Amino acid sequence: MEHSEIKKLIIDSLDADFDTAEFPEKLELEGIGYDFNEDFEEKVFKTIFSEKVLSIRDNEFISNLSLLVGRVAITGIAAIIILLISIFITEGGSFSINSLVGLGDVYDEGLICLLGGL
């Protein structure tokens, strides 16, 4: 059976009116069979779950994870820089502990009283 005939069978099988029962019969008449050996399943599982495949999957996971962590870290650093710039602009060009914490003109004694519940 030529490639064009197989292609025609596949395309014809997509049609709703095509009888799919004829498809295997036509292939068998042409001498194409799909009989597998008894150990076929075992060979496939050995190939899929071999150490080489598992180590490749582990390497892919680690590389994807490091790429993700790098992207998140860069985004976090950019957010911190934007926050620091906005604090610098809103506080009139100065950095202090009070401006970083978000405290305005609050006296330390008043803050201690508020936190202490007195």
Residue 100's pLDDT is 67
Residue 49 shares a structural domain with residue 16: no
Residue 6 shares a structural domain with residue 60: no
* Distance separating alpha carbons of residues 22 and 9, to the nearest angstrom: 10
- Identify the sign of the CA torsion 63, 65, 69, 71: positive
User: How confident is the model over 4-36, as pLDDT tens digits?
Assistant: 877 887 787 787 777 777 777 777 777 777 777
Residue 67 shares a structural domain with residue 105: yes
Q: What percentage of the chain reaches a pLDDT higher than 90?
A: 10
Helices (H), the chain: 3-13, 22-29, 40-48, 51-90, 97-101, 108-116
- Quote the mean pLDDT of the chain: 77
What pLDDT band is residue 103 in, cutting at 50, 70 and 90? low
Q: Would you say the pTM of this structure is higher than 0.85?
A: no
Residue 72's pLDDT is 93
Residue 22 shares a structural domain with residue 49: no
Residue 61 shares a structural domain with residue 82: yes
User: By CB neighbour count within 10 A (0-12 exposed, 13-18 middle, 19+ buried), where does 9 fall?
Assistant: middle
Instruction: Return the number of other C-beta atoms located less than 10 Å from residue 40's C-beta.
Output: 10
* Distance separating alpha carbons of residues 2 and 67, to the nearest angstrom: 47
Domain extent, residue 63, equals 38-118
Residue 110 shares a structural domain with residue 71: yes
* Distance separating alpha carbons of residues 69 and 72, to the nearest angstrom: 5
Residue 70 shares a structural domain with residue 86: yes
User: How confident is the model over 54-99, as pLDDT tens digits?
Assistant: 666 777 888 888 899 999 999 999 999 998 888 777 777 776 776 6
